[in-house]
């Protein structure tokens, strides 16, 4: 998989703060670094897993819940986070690590929604890894009791292989992509704790078999929850927020994470 995709480029990481405009050029060229081809051997994943455990320990010590949000490009990850930040403002402290090969376009959207966000540009890399996320977490510096969403690079293959230190994994599958994605990319869906079927407001205009897609997800990943959601209309958002609240509650250490304020209905 990663043996020919050039995943060895250095990541460019910077913090974007709500209310502060990033004046850097969105292109962010990487100079002479065009990336290198890496053979994805066991030792590469073993090193990544060790760093991921360090991230996990760091997050637990701070009582912070981290979620790895994955999908193909354009499935609606950023739109879902914008809606979440808006609807839960004052009830949940949300920070975002934004992964893209280039630009800070999505990070700017998240910043305008009121979240602290760290942009990670991977250059030729097609996924985030634990080393990148570790650096980004220390730049983000999330407060105790908060939630950090790691919006991974759009890709339905490589991100599934790399543990980042997250507590859970959420995969988006938009109705505009077709209902066959769970069976075409089974490994991605197999690692999901939750599958969000996004852009459901477009269902009346598409030939998308929702029942078939849900059934295929059940076969590929029997333990995953499935939520049809439209971030545009808000349909299904309440169930998404309930899932988040349950994960926050489950991850809280005794006497650690404060309850959401006010409690969600």
Residue 29 has pLDDT above 80, yes or no: no
Q: What domains can be seen in the chain, in order of their start residue?
A: 8-17+41-249 (3.40.50.300)
CA distances 161 to 68, 76, 98, 183, Å, are 12, 21, 18, 17
pTM of the model: 0.85
Q: What is the pLDDT of residues 136-148, one digit of tens each?
A: 999 999 999 999 9
253, burial (CB in 10 Å: exposed 0-12, middle 13-18, buried 19+): exposed
Q: What is the pLDDT of residues 9-20, one digit of tens each?
A: 567 888 887 877
For residue 55, how many other CB atoms are within 10 A of its CB? 22
- Span of 2-11, 42-51, 98-107, 114-123 with lowest mean pLDDT: 2-11
Q: What is the pLDDT of residues 164-218, one digit of tens each?
A: 999 999 999 999 999 999 999 999 999 999 999 999 999 999 999 999 999 999 9
How many CA atoms within 13 Å lie on the side-chain side of 36? 5
Query: What is the model's pLDDT at position 27?
Result: 42
For residue 136, how many other CB atoms are within 10 A of its CB? 27
């Amino acid at each position: 998989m990663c043996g020919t995709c050039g995943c060895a480029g250095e990541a460019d990481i910077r913090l974007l703060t709500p209310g502060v405009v990033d004046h850097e050029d969105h292109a962010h060229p990487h100079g002479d670094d065009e990336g290198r081809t890496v053979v994805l051997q066991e030792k590469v994943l073993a090193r990544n897993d060790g760093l991921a455990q360090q991230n996990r320990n760091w997050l637990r010590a701070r009582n912070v819940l981290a979620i790895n949000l994955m999908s193909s490009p354009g499935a609606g990850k950023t739109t879902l986070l914008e809606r979440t930040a808006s609807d839960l403002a004052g009830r949940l402290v949300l920070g975002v690590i934004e992964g893209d090969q280039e630009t800070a376009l999505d990070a700017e959207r998240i910043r305008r929604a009121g979240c602290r966000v760290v942009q990670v540009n991977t250059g030729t890399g097609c996924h985030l890894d634990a080393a990148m996320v570790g650096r980004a977490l220390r730049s983000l510096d999330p407060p105790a009791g908060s939630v950090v969403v790691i919006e991974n690079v759009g890709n339905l293959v490589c991100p599934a292989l790399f543990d980042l230190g997250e507590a859970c994994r959420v995969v988006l599958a938009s109705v505009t992509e077709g209902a066959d994605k769970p069976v075409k990319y089974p490994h991605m869906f197999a690692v999901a704790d939750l599958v969000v079927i996004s852009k459901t407001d477009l269902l009346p205009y598409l030939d998308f078999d929702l029942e078939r897609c849900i059934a295929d997800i059940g076969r590929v990943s029997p333990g995953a929850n499935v939520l049809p959601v439209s971030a545009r209309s808000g349909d299904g958002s309440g169930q998404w927020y309930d899932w988040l609240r349950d994960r926050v509650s489950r991850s809280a250490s005794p006497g650690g994470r404060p309850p959401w304020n006010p409690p969600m209905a």
